[in-house]
Structure formats: structure tokens, C-alpha cells
Amino acid sequence: MVRSTDEGVRDEVAPVPEAADDDADRWWFVDDFTALWSAGGAPAIEGRVIGYLLVTSRPYVSSTELVAALGASSGSISTTTRRLVESGFIKRHHVPGDRSHYFRMDDDVWGSFLAGERRYLVRQADLAARALVDLDESLTDDARRRLENMRDYMEWLRSYHRRMLEDWARFKAERDGRR
């Protein structure tokens, strides 16, 4: 098994022993995705979970399987999967009669992320709007301008997200029509 380094050179990496045989050839992607993800300041374990779920051949994976495949603690996987579910990167998958926790990637995780990000923008805009009302008397002109910019930027970005989601849906329809 190989992985990429920053210089583009690939070096040998021992396969994770607990990984499913059908996923063993995909570890270079998990490693490279993790490096890109963590370069943006996010925890590496998030990148490993997302990278693994992006390329696994199985429709869903249990927490126990993630612990074994990624060589992480159950606490780390629990915290990470909870955070990734809340942020919209992964989805919970329920198996009737099974109490285990299962996770999967949405087929369009990036479009789903964009939609989820809009909820964050609404909360930010609402916070700024509340501050403008509740702190009205005590705000300096500079502080008021910063809060107005915060509120208006979040609203502007939210409306732009709507257009981006529409454009993305149109792009996928055109792409899929060409297949």
C-alpha cells in the first residue's frame, strides 16, 4: 500500500490490519484526504473518518468497524462521528433490531454540506441582529458597523448559497444526462 507525501512522492504504508479486504487498496486516498482535511485546521481523525466513508465499498459502517479500521479509540470515534453528523458531513444509518451505531456518506455530501452551512449562516445573522437590538444603547458606531456587516454578510452569503445549490443541482443533472 502507498500514500502520497507533500512532495508528491509515494512511500509504502502498512495496511490497517482490521480493514475490510475490499477496502485495503483505498488507504492512500484516506491518508491523502486526511492530510488535506487537517491542513485546513480540522482534526485529522475527522479527515480519516470522512476519507474512509467516502471510499468504502460498504453502504454503511459501524462505530466498532471505524475503531478497528482507523486504529482510533471508541471515545474518539464517538466524539468525531457526533460532530460530523451535526455538521452534515456524515449520516447515521439505523439497522432494525441492531443497537450498534452505523454511519454512511450521503451520495452528495458536498451539496448537503452547503445546505447545512446555510443553517449556520442563519444562526450567525440572528446573533448579530439580536446584538444590534439588545446592545443598541451601548454600541459605539464602530461596533454597530461591525455587527451590521456580520448580519448583512451572513444574509448575503445565505442568498448566494441558494443560487450555488441551484447551480450545483443543474450541473449534476447535466453531468448525469451525459452518462
Domains of the chain: 2-104 (1.10.10.10), 109-177 (1.10.287)
**pLDDT at residue number 23:** 67
**pLDDT at residue number 172:** 94
**pLDDT at residue number 85:** 93
b vs e for 53-74, b when ≥16 Cβ sit within 10 Å of the residue's Cβ?
A: bebbeeebbbbebbbbbbebee
Cα 115 from chain centroid (whole Å): 12
**pLDDT at residue number 8:** 44
Which residue, chain included where needed, has cell 433490531?
Answer: 97
Enter the C-alpha cell of residue 147: 455587527
- For each successive 10 residues of the chain (179 residues), what is the average pLDDT? 42 40 80 95 96 94 96 97 92 94 92 80 95 96 97 94 91 90
